[in-house]
Amino acid sequence: MTRIEHDFVELSFDDPRGTNRLDAAAARELREAVAMIAIADRVHGVLVTSRQSGFVAGADAVEYSALLQKPQRDVETVARQMSESLRALGELRFPVIAAISGPAIDGGLELALAADFRVMSATARTGLSQVRLGLLPHLGGTARLPRIVDLGTALDWISGGNLFSAGAARSAGVVDDVVDAATVRKHALDWLTRAASGALDWQARRRAKESAVALSAAEIEDLCRTKTTDAAKTSPRHQPAAIAAIECVRRSSQLDLPQALQLEQREFATLAKTQAAASLVQAVCNEILLKTRSNQRAQQARRVQQSAVVGAGIMGGAIAYASALVGTPILMKDIAQRQLDRGLEEVDQLLARQVSAGRLTVEASQAVRSRIAPQLDYLGFAQVDLVIEAVVENLGVKHAVLAEVEKAVAADAIVATNTSSLRVDDLAAPLARPEQFVGLHFFNPVPLMPLVEVVQGSRTSDATLAAAVGYALALGKTPIVVKDCPGFLVNRLLTAYLLGFAGLVFDGADFVKVDRAMEAFGWPMGPAYLADVIGLDTMSHIIDIICAGYPQRMTTTPLEPTKVMAGHQRFGQKSGVGFYRYETDPNGRRKKVQQPDSHQLLATSQKSGTRDFTDAEIVERMMLPMVLEAAVALEEGVVESPAALDTAMSLGLGFPKYAGGPLQYADWLGLDKVVELSTRYARIGPLYRASDELRRMASRGGRFYSE
């Protein structure tokens, strides 16, 4: 807080950590500063600025996470205390101007909305993104924005959770002036001078903000109804925040500002106790934790300057593309020219899509393409830092290829495998340098799937692991380190889930109904549809391998549904028919339709005929095996933390975001409830048996995520 020219006070946010955040501590400081300004002599205006490169951001996920653990009443109290700081600023006896010199997100924009005028840098972005965390603005955003801009725009900003450019903010009327980044403070000071002199009617602005929205009750109802219908179409399932935010604005529009603020605080506290908010906030905390851990690891590693991939199939071609796209040249070797050509065709298609979407220029796409060197021999392998083996999934073939690769590369090169079902330790058998061997399990389709399981064999060195993590990070992926075990993490947990599906079908469930129930639960696709997309031959093979790896909990039979389908040459989407049939509509889009004889094929495994299951029972029988297997994997140290496990399941399998991941979901249910369900379903088989450790945790009221 500094006195500046014309008897103005400059209130500067300057968090030594580098990013100004309007968290509880900053709100307290603001309150104290405003109280001092309010009683100071000869003050005619306040300029709110930032001394950091950004303006101000909202509280971070870690602070939200702690807040969300509190009882609802306490959450409301905290929201009120913080909100009052901004209210005090907006009630000073003289004009207040926000100089938005950098990004003003969430709490930062709410702070600016408490000012009378806003001057913004042309390069900054702003918005209210709280609904993305399952929350709504709680520092006056829902109350002030509809009183500053037209109601429709305010509803879009609040319920959409998007960020906007300065130009868009200016057109919407959210800010009053957009100027060159270097001159924001100077212009804001000019606005303040004009307001203080009476040339700008700042009091009229304030009056508009203090009173109800200037629309009739019917107009408000109409608009809110339309926006609610739109939000219901676009909101992810089980994420109530967008609709709750519109409802909050609807109810508060006709109130005065203090009442509107109060309502907002109450609604914020209600949302804070929802499953979606808990999971979405935890997911961001998990991301932060994992990123920090991965960066720490990667820092210890030498950077991969030149890479290579062996096998130019579906995965090899896409890995080459991913590497070349981020600027790391890659050799791509295969044994067949035809395969190399197909691999390059795939790369060309991916690049063409980038060009037509405007993400790459033609020249840039040619530069990417030139970084991929297709070849039938090992020429140049002596210069590579890291090689990824992506040949067919066959132990014998992989052994031969890996031994060849090891001879072709320099003594310090890292060799990785993209195997999806073989053990890293088994693959390492013929290698002279197993400590330089690691799993890099990419998911299909590589350009869309952010997850890479980095698999640590029992002899993989930390340095090798670090280099593999660094490479995955350089490709823009989220690496999750997993210990070598059958199926690694994602396929292992997927198998437990699909065995739950098999059990339901054996007991007479209709697979279409199971799919519907699981989609209603929040999965992007039900289990039968998912297996069709993965490929039923691939899936049944994975199930076999994983069941062989965990015979004490997982067993399969020739009647397992994916096997039945694959046995009839129905491989799912890729062959046009699996559980469902896949057709192409006139617009070239793939469509899933019912395949009438699928039920007949599965009837052979339904010894007691068909039976109707409730959605609740379907969800329990599907989710429990995955949750219980997740608990075992964590106990075995397959992943380092619940954060790693849940993130992998979210990114690798599309675990419903509102539920977080298997462990977050278990915490939400309560571990005692998980154990109770396990006891209820124990008769089905060991797939439903809770581990002793999980029972112990449940009995002492434990959780996977400590508070």
Quick check: 347 binds ligand NAD (CB under 6 A)? no
C-beta atoms surrounding 62 within 10 Å:
14
Q: Which of these segments, 107-115, 313-321, 523-531, 581-589, binds ligand NAD (CB under 6 A)?
A: 313-321
Closest C-alpha among 184, 222, 212 to residue 54: 184
- CA-to-CA distance for 668 and 273, rounded, in angstroms? 11
Among 156, 334, 385, 560, binds ligand NAD (CB under 6 A): 334
| Alpha helices for 357-394 (secondary structure H) | 362-370
Quick check: 393 binds ligand NAD (CB under 6 A)? yes
β-strands 437-442, 451-456 pairing: antiparallel
Closest C-alpha among 46, 120, 146 to residue 89: 46
Quick check: 401 binds ligand NAD (CB under 6 A)? yes
Q: Which of these segments, 91-99, 285-293, 439-447, 562-570, binds ligand NAD (CB under 6 A)?
A: 439-447
Environment class of residue 338 by beta-carbon count within 10 Å: exposed (0-12), middle (13-18) or buried (19+)? exposed
- CA-to-CA distance for 173 and 149, rounded, in angstroms? 6
Closest CB to ligand NAD among residues 68, 539 = 539
Q: Which of these segments, 65-73, 166-174, 304-312, 665-673, binds ligand NAD (CB under 6 A)?
A: 304-312
Among 160, 316, 625, 656, binds ligand NAD (CB under 6 A): 316
Closest CB to ligand NAD among residues 316, 457 = 316
C-beta atoms surrounding 249 within 10 Å:
29
Quick check: 312 binds ligand NAD (CB under 6 A)? yes
Render the burial of 386-418: b for 16+ CB within 10 Å, e for the rest: bbbbbbebeeeebbebbebbbebbeeebbbbbb
β-strands 478-483, 177-179 pairing: unpaired
Quick check: 430 binds ligand NAD (CB under 6 A)? no
CB of 75 to ligand NAD, least distance (A): 43
- CA-to-CA distance for 505 and 526, rounded, in angstroms? 13
Among 95, 146, 160, 311, binds ligand NAD (CB under 6 A): 311
CB of 318 to ligand NAD, least distance (A): 8
- CA-to-CA distance for 349 and 706, rounded, in angstroms? 46
CB of 592 to ligand NAD, least distance (A): 19
CB of 538 to ligand NAD, least distance (A): 7
Closest CB to ligand NAD among residues 84, 537 = 537
Q: Which of these segments, 27-35, 165-173, 328-336, 504-512, binds ligand NAD (CB under 6 A)?
A: 328-336
Q: Which of these segments, 16-24, 392-400, 641-649, 678-686, binds ligand NAD (CB under 6 A)?
A: 392-400
DSSP string, 32-43: HHHHHHHH-SS-
DSSP string, 575-618: GTBSSEEEEE-TTS-EEEEE-TTHHHHHHTT-TT------HHHH
Q: Which helix (H) or strand (E) holds 539?
A: helix 536-549
Among 149, 166, 391, 648, binds ligand NAD (CB under 6 A): 391
Hey, what are 185's tokens?
Answer: 């403070």
Closest CB to ligand NAD among residues 313, 654 = 313
Closest C-alpha among 97, 118, 100 to residue 196: 97
Environment class of residue 507 by beta-carbon count within 10 Å: exposed (0-12), middle (13-18) or buried (19+)? middle
C-beta atoms surrounding 171 within 10 Å:
13
Among 333, 477, 492, 563, binds ligand NAD (CB under 6 A): 333
CB of 438 to ligand NAD, least distance (A): 14
Closest CB to ligand NAD among residues 162, 375 = 375
The dihedrals phi and psi of 45, each to the nearest 5 degrees, come to 175, 160
Among 228, 294, 418, 562, binds ligand NAD (CB under 6 A): 418
CB of 128 to ligand NAD, least distance (A): 39
Quick check: 395 binds ligand NAD (CB under 6 A)? no
Q: Which of these segments, 242-250, 327-335, 561-569, 686-694, binds ligand NAD (CB under 6 A)?
A: 327-335
Quick check: 491 binds ligand NAD (CB under 6 A)? no
Closest CB to ligand NAD among residues 236, 524 = 524
CB of 550 to ligand NAD, least distance (A): 19
- CA-to-CA distance for 73 and 95, rounded, in angstroms? 34
CB of 13 to ligand NAD, least distance (A): 47
Does residue 46 contact residue 94 with C-beta atoms inside 8 Å? yes
Among 335, 364, 525, 601, binds ligand NAD (CB under 6 A): 335
Closest CB to ligand NAD among residues 10, 334 = 334
How many residues form the binding site for ligand NAD (CB under 6 A)?
A: 24
Active site residue 441: yes
β-strands 125-127, 104-105 pairing: parallel
Closest CB to ligand NAD among residues 126, 420 = 420
CB of 531 to ligand NAD, least distance (A): 13
- Grouping H, G, I as helix, E, B as strand and the rest as coil, residue 79 is helix
Quick check: 546 binds ligand NAD (CB under 6 A)? no
Closest CB to ligand NAD among residues 311, 486 = 311
CA 26 to chain CA centroid, Å, is 28
Among 236, 313, 654, 702, binds ligand NAD (CB under 6 A): 313
CB of 456 to ligand NAD, least distance (A): 17
CB of 400 to ligand NAD, least distance (A): 6
Q: Which of these segments, 12-20, 384-392, 554-562, 660-668, binds ligand NAD (CB under 6 A)?
A: 384-392
Closest CB to ligand NAD among residues 4, 335 = 335
C-alpha distances out from residue 691 to 411, 498, 660, 696, Å: 44, 20, 22, 9
- Choosing from 441, 541, 568, 599, the catalytic residue is 441
Closest C-alpha among 204, 194, 147 to residue 45: 194
Q: Which residue, chain included where needed, has tokens 């999971």?
A: 279
Closest CB to ligand NAD among residues 128, 390 = 390
The residue number with the shortest CB distance to ligand NAD is: 313
Closest C-alpha among 58, 66, 193 to residue 127: 58
Active site residues per annotation: 441
In the complex, the residues that contact ligand NAD under the rule CB under 6 A are: 310-316, 333-336, 339, 390-393, 397, 401, 418-420, 442-444
